[in-house]
Structure 1
Amino acid sequence: MAHFKSIALIAGDGRLPQEIARRLTFKGCPPVIYSFGEHGEDLSKFALELVKLSSLNLAFIVDDMQRKGVHEIIMAGLVPKTLMYHQKLHDEELDKLLRSLHSRDDHNLLANIVLALESKGFNVIGYKDIIPDWLASEGHFAGRLPTREELEDIKYGKKIAKVLLPLSFGQTLVVHKKAIVAVEAMEGTDAMLLRAGSLTRGGIVLKMMRPDQDERYDLPTVGVRTLQNMLDAGLKCLAVEVGRTVIIEPEDFKSFAADSGIAVLGVRH
């Protein structure tokens, strides 16, 4: 007889899935965890069961969750691009889904994977209510106060983001003296920040979501590593979207921002 469980966590890399699993376990609802990340062992102590995945075998995941009696799914963490875009790491069902897409950006791919899961009877739920204290608050909340020039660059960056975000790229921008230094695409935030640092020193980093982006599974994250990469790139001001950006380990984040002289604030569209 199958051992029935209710919640599954499809976990990519990063600290976020571990914190979600820890809090679920504390509430008495340890999840079945399907781990794509390199640090699956860190999740095991918070898992009812840990299933390590080396490929995006959608059919296996669906069959395994149905067999285990999973009803609700949480998706969190960074899924490596090699898994998302390397055909040899896909199963036939995912390849069929990919061929049907009008575009293969992260947003569209994730949305269609969610639709495929929902079509099998699963309920994909969000995690904002599990980690409310990890969400960015409005206004200045870490580090030093921003300068007038930085505030002007943020205002300018928001105008550019408003145009780019509906095209499913440009979630993070670097702006210096009202000029766009770098725009995030497939390489991810960290690589983009280092690229920006090779072009100019100074400016702001702006991270926002497209208005229709699904908050259940696609929230941007920032953490101490983000701040360290900013510091290495000569960037000393970060603006993130209020209530729609996850601050990984916020106390450590705030301490690092204060020690590094980086201004951090929450902004709205």
Structure 2
Amino acid sequence: MESTVALFAGEGKLPLEIARRLTDRGVPPVVYALGAVEGSLSRYALDLVALPRLELGQALADLGRRGLTKVILAGVVPKTVMYKPSLMDEGLKRLLQHLPSRDDHSLLGAVVAAIESYGITVLPYRDLIIDLMAAAGPLAGRNPTEEEAADIHYGREVASTVLPLSFGQTVIVSSRAVVAVEAMEGTDATLLRAGGLVRQGVVVKMMRIDQDERYDLPTVGPATLRNMARAGLRCLAVEARRTIILESEAFRRFAEEEEMAVVGIHHCLFS
């Protein structure tokens, strides 16, 4: 990544972390902000272009004018946007209309294909944040109890079954029963919904096995643990080497203070 890259930044802290690390390498990105600008994102941008609507065509045209041929996609763009045509340009509307399925895998894949059709390379960001990727085994706080370990195993099996359908990245399980499964509402809303049903259980977060790792890697952070605590959920299992842990020091400190268990698991085996 020696040359200038563009960063399509959705909501959340991940784009800020990526922009900061690119700047530290001496290659601050041109940032196209698709949502609310997080913190000091502009501080780490060579230039910041605000996109109040999903103006994919405008952004790609601007890339061409700047001679940029590499882009990183990071951050959250709520999927509910697809029900709000006024927030999309005509090209994106046509793209949606021709998709036989609008699940996350198909939708993101189509957007990436549209970007690449302009001769632009979509870069992975994993190597920039390799130190933030979850390892296997205990990650923070205490170890899971036997009951929690059994729920993790069951939750992993449930997630492995539903993830090929492009939903269920987060599954909440209590006593080997599914309490809640994430759809387009996002992880935080799923956690709070589960807390309204059962004030106990484990959270299992994974990604579909064939998901393109250049973008949309699962992300957790202190806010995840805070919402779990609010919902009465005390154990989190994330997929090892495929999950980002943001603000890792604060994350571990919160898990320790609240006596929560956080572990890294494999797709096929609890470890």
Band the TM-score falls in, shorter-chain normalisation: over 0.9
Aligned match of 1:109: 107
Rounded to whole Å, the distance in 2 between the matches of 1:58 and 1:11 is 12
Rounded to whole Å, the distance in 2 between the matches of 1:41 and 1:204 is 31
Aligned match of 1:132: 130
Q: Secondary structure at the match of 1:254?
A: helix
Selected match of 1:14 from 6, 12, 15 = 12
Rounded to whole Å, the distance in 2 between the matches of 1:42 and 1:168 is 33
Rounded to whole Å, the distance in 1 between the matches of 2:81 and 2:48 is 19
- TM-score normalised by L of structure 2: 0.95
**1:1-269 alignment runs, 5 A limit:** 6-39=4-37, 42-269=40-267
Q: Deviations over 1:171-227 (max 9, x none)?
A: 100000000000000111100100100101111000000001111011011111110
Rounded to whole Å, the distance in 2 between the matches of 1:251 and 1:20 is 17
C-alpha contact 2:12 2:38 (8 A) present in aligned 1: no
* 1:37, distance to aligned residue in structure 2 (A): 2.3
* 1:81, distance to aligned residue in structure 2 (A): 3.5
Equivalent AA in structure 1 for residue 142 of structure 2: R
Unaligned runs of 5+ in 1: none
Equivalent AA in structure 2 for residue 250 of structure 1: S
Q: 1:48 to 1:221 in 2, by over 3 A?
A: same
Q: Deviations over 1:215-262 (max 9, x none)?
A: 101101111111001001100000000111110111110011101111
Equivalent AA in structure 2 for residue 260 of structure 1: E
* 1:162, distance to aligned residue in structure 2 (A): 1.4
Equivalent AA in structure 1 for residue 144 of structure 2: P
Q: How many residues align?
A: 265
Rounded to whole Å, the distance in 1 between the matches of 2:10 and 2:105 is 15
* 1:82, distance to aligned residue in structure 2 (A): 4.7
C-alpha contact 1:56 1:84 (8 A) present in aligned 2: no
Rounded to whole Å, the distance in 1 between the matches of 2:147 and 2:114 is 46
Q: Deviations over 1:139-196 (max 9, x none)?
A: 0110111101101001111111111000011110000000000000011110010010
- TM-score normalised by L of structure 1: 0.96
Q: Deviations over 1:49-94 (max 9, x none)?
A: 0000111111101100011111110000111345343111111111
Equivalent AA in structure 2 for residue 9 of structure 1: L
* 1:8, distance to aligned residue in structure 2 (A): 0.2
* 1:105, distance to aligned residue in structure 2 (A): 2.0
Q: Secondary structure at the match of 1:261?
A: coil
Rounded to whole Å, the distance in 1 between the matches of 2:81 and 2:184 is 13
Rounded to whole Å, the distance in 1 between the matches of 2:66 and 2:130 is 29
* 1:107, distance to aligned residue in structure 2 (A): 2.4
Rounded to whole Å, the distance in 2 between the matches of 1:103 and 1:88 is 21
Equivalent AA in structure 2 for residue 47 of structure 1: A
Rounded to whole Å, the distance in 1 between the matches of 2:152 and 2:118 is 43
% identity of equivalent residues: 56
Rounded to whole Å, the distance in 2 between the matches of 1:57 and 1:110 is 15
C-alpha contact 1:56 1:91 (8 A) present in aligned 2: yes
Taking only aligned residues, the RMSD between alpha carbons, in angstroms, comes to 1.1
